[in-house]
Structure 1
Amino acid sequence: MRQPPGFTDQTQPHSVCKLQKSLYGLKQAPRQWFQKLTDFLQHQGFGFSRSDPSLLIYHKNSIRLYILIYVDDFLVTGNDEDAIRSLLKQLRAQFALKQLGNISLFLGIQVTHSPTGFFLSQEHYATKLLNDAGYKDCKSAPTMLTPDKKKKEPNLQPLKDPSLYRRLAGSLQYLSITRSDIAFATNRICQHMQSPTEHNFKALTRLLRYIKGTTSFGLPITTGTLELRAFSDADRASDITDRKSVLGFCTFLGTNLISWTVNKQATVTKSSTEAEYRSLSAAASDVLWLRRLTTELDMPQSSPTTIYCDNTSAMAIAKNPVFHARTKHIEIDYHFIRQQISTGNIQLAHISSKNQIADILTKPFSIARFHELRNKLTTRTPNA
């Protein structure tokens, strides 16, 4: 801490002003606001979720209330309308709040109500992204990437305006919150933000052209079963620059897609089996977190969560507690999946590559195959 210019006391040059109240715009202001709000909610009987620190839960008798906080925006829901109204009245007495009624827009995500549930999309954000990039009237593309059938020498000339590339790549990351179909392409694009080339920018514009034809696509949330299931896949040595593998997994709650991840693995793998095994371990970690969260939301998983994998060798390693030549070099933390299988938290099931939904998160496909997997991922238009 130091005094601003002109405020230094010559007799006490090392003294600073004492902050009596956090001001909006200062670094500590959001933390102070969050602390004040959560202190008030805890005084009303709410408690922090162990799985998500931004989620507070009220559980008393048969009343269930949930508050999800993001800085100064938050959602309130529960099973008792009178309790919700009473809580909002108390909040308005303490804070200057603007109550917007039933959810329709939250953090740029549009929420459309339907007889069967909700539909989440970012159509306005996608349209704004295309306008800012100058692709408002571009020709749409049927897929986000094209399979590399012919190995052509890429144009490695440095991009003249890397700041434009970085800005668009960051926007695509936010768009992928509701668009799991662009997660793989976005992950590949964001790997070159430091020194983008003309070849990288061409891949980015291809993705923008795909978004042009799918701006209304989003994620449906419908009523149904509350059973978790996950799909895990990996594409070994797919990155030609460092030969690291790409892992991808997605998790469904009933028919609803609720979580997905695309990552480049940290180390080079020696086989497809090892790449798939590391992907299984990552998927298991996500499943365990979701099992804890669903339990806190009164949706306990009474049976082991199934993770579908199309590699029988990786499944055999996960179930076999004996270390041998193929596994002794793998870090010990990846083997925790064996304990989770033995304790009954998860179980593995084989699935054919044709039905492996997570394939769309690890590699490009032909138009027909891409559209087939996209439909299984439930990414669609509101009226589909």
Structure 2
Amino acid sequence: MQDLEKIHYILGLEIDFLKDKAFICQSKYALSMLKKFNMLNCKSIETPMEQNVKDSNKGDERSFKDITLFRSLIGSLIWLTITRPDISFSVHKLSQAIQNPSIYHWKKAKRVLRYVSSTFDFGLLYKSEDLSIIGYSDSDFVGDRADRKSTSAYVIYLGGNLISWLSKKQDTVSLSSCEAEYKVLTTTTKEVLWIKRLLVELKIIMEENIHMIMCDNISAQALANNPIFHARSKHIEVAHHFVREKLIGGEIKLEHIDTSSCIADMLTKPLSKSSFNKHRANLGVIPRSMFKSI
């Protein structure tokens, strides 16, 4: 074995260190991807998706002939999401068309590349803080107009640093926004507890034993605290009451948060430029130049 000292580059990931901070990005990989798809000198754009555009089946429905090229692009973008959670929702939506992409999907994929071209040196900032786990969960009720399924999203921080995130369509159709939010609460709780157990195995001592999960849906929070089987909730599977079990056990704590402050919101739907930039900064996604000036 050879000791190569501090890591600086591996599998396309570039790691910089500055005192008690670290910065991880994929700027070289992003530039090579733009060059591969002839978008190196494209016109840049400030958001990866247009706001208020949810219908993935509208637009130019003609089939995109080079399916291999489209799949190659989506695969490249998926690898970029390792350090770029700000494009996770866009890539998640485009991935759903990987079997039969249309020209519309190809244009939307190129829009993501135009966004990447203006933010190729962005990455994740990590800094040394008190260890505590906090999660944000959110869902976009019937966000997919094609099959009426909702989108789940969560972001989880350890000591103020983003370590886990998800943007995924739910497996089944939710009959209410409460049910959609409750489902993602279950997923978020599982991830928080998995991270906690991993830290215990690594013998890392945390400041708090009760971990906070932020949710912007009052109904879902009330259901977790008092699961009365009224008309709106009796159809929810018993498995989802895993959340209440952990609440009673004192392992997690739910707290309401305003929708405009819920960071996971950017992983469920396209946002305005101002909201997108605010949440992106809260995720810890910053340009490399900003890291060096901290």
Q: Verify: 1:158 aligned to 2:63, yes or no.
A: yes
Residue aligned with 1:383, SS: helix
Q: Who is 1:335 aligned against?
A: 241
- Once the two structures are superposed, what CA deviation does each residue of 1:244-295 show, in whole Å capped at 9, x if it has no partner? 0001000011221111011100011111111111111110010010111122
Paired with 1:382 and 1:210, the residues of 2 have a C-alpha distance of: 16
Q: Who is 2:7 aligned against?
A: 103
Q: Who is 1:383 aligned against?
A: 289
Q: Verify: 1:258 aligned to 2:175, yes or no.
A: no
Q: For 1:224-239, what aligned pairs fall within 5 Å after superposition?
A: 224-239=129-144
Q: Who is 2:198 aligned against?
A: 293
Query: What amino acid sits opposite 2:33 in the alignment?
Result: L
Paired with 2:257 and 2:245, the residues of 1 have a C-alpha distance of: 22
Point out which structure has higher relative CO (alpha carbons under 8 A, 6+ apart).
2
Paired with 1:282 and 1:153, the residues of 2 have a C-alpha distance of: 31
Q: For 1:127-276, what aligned pairs fall within 5 Å after superposition?
A: 127-148=31-52, 153-276=58-181
Q: Could you tell me how far 1:149 is from its partner in structure 2? A: 6.3
Aligned mate of 2:208, from 296, 299, 302: 302
356-365 or 153-162, which moves further after superposition?
A: 153-162
Q: Verify: 1:351 aligned to 2:257, yes or no.
A: yes
Aligned mate of 2:22, from 107, 118, 129: 118
CA contact (8 A) 1:295 1:301 kept: no
Q: Who is 1:372 aligned against?
A: 278
Residue aligned with 1:139, SS: coil
Structure 1 runs, 4 residues or longer, greater than 2 Å off: 98-101, 148-153, 299-303, 321-325
Q: Verify: 1:324 aligned to 2:238, yes or no.
A: no
- Higher gyration radius (CA): 1
Q: Could you tell me how far 1:153 is from its partner in structure 2? A: 4.5
Paired with 1:299 and 1:357, the residues of 2 have a C-alpha distance of: 26
Residue aligned with 2:86, SS: helix
Q: Could you tell me how far 1:146 is from its partner in structure 2? A: 0.4
Q: Could you tell me how far 1:165 is from its partner in structure 2? A: 0.5
Residue aligned with 1:267, SS: coil
Residue aligned with 1:380, SS: strand
Change in CA separation of 1:244 and 1:150 when aligned onto 2, cut-off 3 Å: closer
TM-score (normalised: structure 1):
0.73
Q: Could you tell me how far 1:366 is from its partner in structure 2? A: 1.2
Q: Could you tell me how far 1:199 is from its partner in structure 2? A: 0.7
Query: What amino acid sits opposite 1:138 in the alignment?
Result: C
Paired with 2:120 and 2:275, the residues of 1 have a C-alpha distance of: 20
Change in CA separation of 1:202 and 1:155 when aligned onto 2, cut-off 3 Å: same
269-278 or 290-299, which moves further after superposition?
A: 290-299
Residue aligned with 2:229, SS: coil
CA contact (8 A) 1:236 1:275 kept: yes
- Once the two structures are superposed, what CA deviation does each residue of 1:55-80 show, in whole Å capped at 9, x if it has no partner? xxxxxxxxxxxxxxxxxxxxxxxxxx
Change in CA separation of 1:149 and 1:247 when aligned onto 2, cut-off 3 Å: closer
How many residue pairs align between the two structures? 288
- Once the two structures are superposed, what CA deviation does each residue of 1:313-350 show, in whole Å capped at 9, x if it has no partner? 00011111332322221222111111010111111000
Residue aligned with 2:189, SS: helix
Residue aligned with 2:255, SS: strand
Paired with 2:182 and 2:247, the residues of 1 have a C-alpha distance of: 14
CA contact (8 A) 1:309 1:315 kept: yes
TM-score (normalised: structure 2):
0.94
Residue aligned with 1:128, SS: helix
Q: Could you tell me how far 1:371 is from its partner in structure 2? A: 0.7
Q: Who is 2:185 aligned against?
A: 280
Residue aligned with 1:337, SS: helix
Q: Could you tell me how far 1:225 is from its partner in structure 2? A: 1.3
